[in-house]
Amino acid sequence: MADVINIQMPLWQLSLLALILFSAIAIVVVLLRCIAHEPSAVGEDRDWSVPSLADGCGTSLLHRWDVRCKILTILVCSFAVASLSHLAPALIAIGLSLIILFIARVSFAKVVLRLLAISGFVGMFLVIMPFSVPVHNGDTVLVFNGMDRLSFNLRGLLLAGTIAAKAIAIALLMEPLLSTAPFPVTLHELSRLGIPEMVGQMVLLSYRYLHVFRHEARRMSWGMQVRGFRKRTELATLRAVGNFIGMLFVRSFERTERVFDAMRARGYRGRFPEPAELRLQAKDVVLAAAWIAVVAALIIYDRIV
Amino acid sequence: MHISDGVLPISVTVGSYIAGAAIVAWSVRRTNSEELPKLAVMTAAFFVASLVHVPLGPTSVHLIIPGLTGALLGSSAFLSIGLGLLLQSLLFQFGGLTALGANALMMGLPALACGWFFQRFKGWIQLRQAVVGGLAGALGTVLASIILAILLMTGGEDFFGVAKIALLAHVPVVIIEGVVSAFTIGFLARVKPVLLQTSFRHPTKAAHG
C-alpha cells in the first residue's frame, strides 16, 4: 500500500480553499433559487409553499406509461442508485435521471425546489467530510502550515461527492414519479401493488387537510402580526409560538371531528371511489424491463470499478 | 434534520424500512380502526406545526416536534409520523424516499418514548403537565439526534465526524423545542385538556388509560 501523500500548503491557501468551496455551494444555491422563483407565466402567481401534486396531465412517454410499472421501476431504480458506491456510476445515474426528466417534461421549477431542499443536508457532507474523514494509507491529504490538526482529505471530498451525486440522481427522479399522473391515481395504484388501501387513503386525507391547516395557520399568523407580534430571539416569541401551535391543534382537532362526521354522513365505509381504470400493456412492461436493465448494468459497473 | 437519499449503506436503508414497517403495523393495531381517518387529518396539523420556524439569532430553525406528537397521540404517533414523513418526502424532498424507513425510526421511536414518558409523569396539575411536556419535547429531540448519529455511524468511521457535528447542531434545537413544547402543553392543559389524554387509543386499552 502506498503511504499517505502529504501535500504541504501555506495557511492562506486554506482560507482560499474554504472560500472556493463555500462560494461554489452558495452560488449554486442562489442560482437554483433564482430559477425556482422565476414567475412561470405572466399574471400567474403560484404558491409553491405547499407544492401541488394534482396536475398530472401531459402526453409524454411517462404520462402514458402504466402507473404501476412506473412506480415499481422508479422505486427499484432509486434503491439501486442508493446502493452505488463509486463516483463515476453515480454521475452516470445523474445523467440517466436528466434524460428521464427531459422525456417526462415536468415543471423545471419544481425539480429545482427539490434540489434546494436537499442542498442543506448534502452541503453539510461536502463541507465537513473532507476535514473529518480519518486518514488511511493511499490518501491524498492537503496539510496546511501551522495547522497540524486541520487537513483536507481528498478521499473525504470524493466520498461526499458520491453521496451528493446519489442524492441528486434520486431527487431528480421524484418529479417524474409523482407529477406524471394525478396524485390519487398514484396512491390507488400503490394499493393495487399490495400496500394496504387504508395507507393510501390516509395519505390522501392528510394531503388534503394539509392545505386547509396551512391556510388556518397563515390566517392565525396574520392576526398575530396585525396585533404587533414580531418574531425575535427571546422567550416571549417562544411562548407565542407555543400557544400558536396549541391553538392550531385545538382547531385542527375540532375540525377533525367535524370532517369525520361529515364523511360518515355521506356514507363513508372505509373506501373512496376508484379514480381510474388502467390496463397493463406489453409495451409498459418492455419499458420497465429496459430501464431496469440499464440500472442493473450500472450496478455491475459499480461493482467492477 | 432529515436524512437524504444515498447517505446510508443499502443494508441499513432496507433494514430500517423493515423495522419501520413492523412498528407501523403495531401502531395501526394499537389504533382504533374507526379513528384512522381522524388520525390522518391530525397528521396534517402536526405537519403544519413542523413547518413553523423559530428565529435563532441571524438564522431560524424549524421545529421537529416528535415529543409533542408522542405526548398527544401515544402509540398512534409512529403511524402519524410515518405518514407525515412520507408526505414531506413526496412534497418537499425533505428526507429521501429511500431513507424514509430510517427517518421514520429517527422521529417515531423518540415519539413513542416521549408519549410513554408524558403519560407516565404528567400528573394532574397544569404546571406539572407543562413542565413534563417541555421535558418530553426536549427528550424527543435529544433521542432523535442520537438516533440520527447512530444511523450515520453505520456508514463506517468515515462518517463519525459528520455524526458528531449533527449531534452538536441539535443542541439549540433541543432547548427551543423544550420551551415551545412546555408552552404548547401548558396551553392545551388550560384550553382543551381532553387532547392530553391520548385520544386515538384502542378502545379496550383506553378504558383506564
User: What is the per-residue pLDDT across B50-91, written as a single tens digit (0 to 9) for each?
Assistant: 888 887 777 777 788 888 888 888 888 898 999 888 888 888
Q: How confident is the model at residue A277 (pLDDT cuts 50, 70, 90)?
A: low
Considering only CB atoms, B36 lies closest to which of A50, A202, A210, namely: A202
> Is A272 at the interface with chain B, CB within 8 A?
no
In chain A, residues with a C-beta closer than 8 Å to the C-beta of B145 are: none
Distances (CA, A) of A3 to A138, A141, A209, A277, B34: 5, 11, 59, 63, 65
Is A146 among the domain residues?
yes
A125 and A13 share a domain?
A: yes
A17 and A136 share a domain?
A: yes
Residue ending a domain, among A180, A215, A246, is: A180
A227 and A146 share a domain?
A: no
Is A175 among the domain residues?
yes
Q: How confident is the model at residue B201 (pLDDT cuts 50, 70, 90)?
A: low
Residues spanned by the domain of A80: 5-38+48-180
Is A123 among the domain residues?
yes
A137 and A225 share a domain?
A: no
> Is B1 at the interface with chain A, CB within 8 A?
yes
Task: State whether ipTM is beyond 0.90.
Answer: no
Is A283 among the domain residues?
no
Does pLDDT of B199 surpass 60? Answer: no
> What does the alpha-carbon distance between residue B59 and residue B56 come to, in Å, rounded to a whole number?
5
> What does the alpha-carbon distance between residue B23 and residue B80 come to, in Å, rounded to a whole number?
12
In chain A, residues with a C-beta closer than 8 Å to the C-beta of B188 are: 246, 249-250
- Indicate the number of domains in chain A: 2
Look at B180 and A242 and tell me if their CB atoms are within 8 Å: yes
Q: Say how many CB pairs under 8 Å bridge A and B.
A: 230
Reference A122, options A52, A14, A24; nearest CA is A24
> What does the alpha-carbon distance between residue B133 and residue B114 come to, in Å, rounded to a whole number?
9
Radius of gyration of chain A (CA): 25
Is A105 among the domain residues?
yes
Q: What is the mean pLDDT of residues A47-59?
A: 58
A102 and A214 share a domain?
A: no
Q: What is the mean pLDDT of residues A262-283?
A: 74
Is A281 among the domain residues?
no
pLDDT in tens, A230-254: 888 788 888 888 888 889 888 888 8
Does pLDDT of B19 surpass 90? Answer: yes
pTM comes to 0.84
Look at A159 and B158 and tell me if their CB atoms are within 8 Å: yes
> Is B40 at the interface with chain A, CB within 8 A?
yes
Q: How confident is the model at residue A46 (pLDDT cuts 50, 70, 90)?
A: very low
A168 and A230 share a domain?
A: no
Residue ending a domain, among A180, A213, A245, is: A180
A198 vs B104, more confident: B104
CA atoms within 13 A on the CB side of A184: 10
Task: Kindly state the helix (H) or strand (E) to which residue B54 belongs, with its residue range.
Answer: strand B53-56
Q: Is residue A223 classed exposed, middle or buried when 0-12, 13-18 and 19+ CB atoms within 10 A define those classes?
A: exposed
B91 vs A35, more confident: B91
**Sign of the alpha-carbon dihedral angle for A109, A113, A119, A122:** negative
A233 and A146 share a domain?
A: no
Is A305 among the domain residues?
no
Query: What is the nearest CA distance from A197 to chain B, expressed in angstroms?
Result: 12
Look at A245 and B43 and tell me if their CB atoms are within 8 Å: no
A171 and A201 share a domain?
A: no
A67 and A137 share a domain?
A: yes
Considering only CB atoms, B49 lies closest to which of A129, A235, A248, namely: A248
* Partners of residue B201 on adjacent β-strands: B31
pLDDT in tens, B4-13: 888 888 888 8
Is A185 among the domain residues?
no
In chain A, residues with a C-beta closer than 8 Å to the C-beta of B96 are: 78, 82, 118, 167, 170-171
Cell of A56: 398530472
In chain A, residues with a C-beta closer than 8 Å to the C-beta of B157 are: 134
Look at A132 and B160 and tell me if their CB atoms are within 8 Å: yes
A156 and A10 share a domain?
A: yes
Distances (CA, A) of A34 to A39, B78, B198: 10, 37, 45
A149 and A92 share a domain?
A: yes
Cell of B165: 457535528
Residue ending a domain, among A116, A148, A180, is: A180
A139 and A32 share a domain?
A: yes
